């Protein structure tokens, strides 16, 4: 898991982007599992439930990919698979 001390995190090394995308897919899947176990359909419902129980809520995550062509030159198959998975499923999990 990527831990940062500020609200914004920038990654400029193309070689590390695939690892970050893999982390994002794992985080998305972790959130889906937690939502399913709690009966929440999306992040809004989850956060209301967590706040009502006095537990911390989940933040929204924004992933911006600039220079996609550079990423596709380094790891085309893996990058496409991960980006497609995130594009298909991440919205409900707040990503």
DSSP result, 23-51: HHHHHHHHHHHHHHHHT-SSHHHHHHHHH
Give the pLDDT score at 7: 58
pLDDT in tens, 36-67: 999 999 999 999 999 999 999 999 998 888 88
Across the range 12-20, mean pLDDT stands at 82
CA 87 to chain centre: 10
């Amino acid at each position: 898991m990527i831990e940062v001390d500020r609200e914004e995190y920038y990654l400029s090394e193309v070689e590390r982007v695939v690892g970050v995308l893999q982390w994002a897919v794992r985080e998305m899947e972790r959130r889906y599992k937690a939502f399913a176990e709690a009966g929440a359909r999306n992040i809004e419902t989850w956060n209301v439930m967590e706040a009502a129980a006095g537990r911390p809520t989940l933040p929204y995550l924004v992933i911006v990919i600039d220079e996609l062509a550079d990423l596709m030159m380094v790891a085309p198959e893996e990058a496409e698979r991960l980006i497609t998975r995130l594009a298909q499923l991440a919205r409900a999990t707040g990503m």
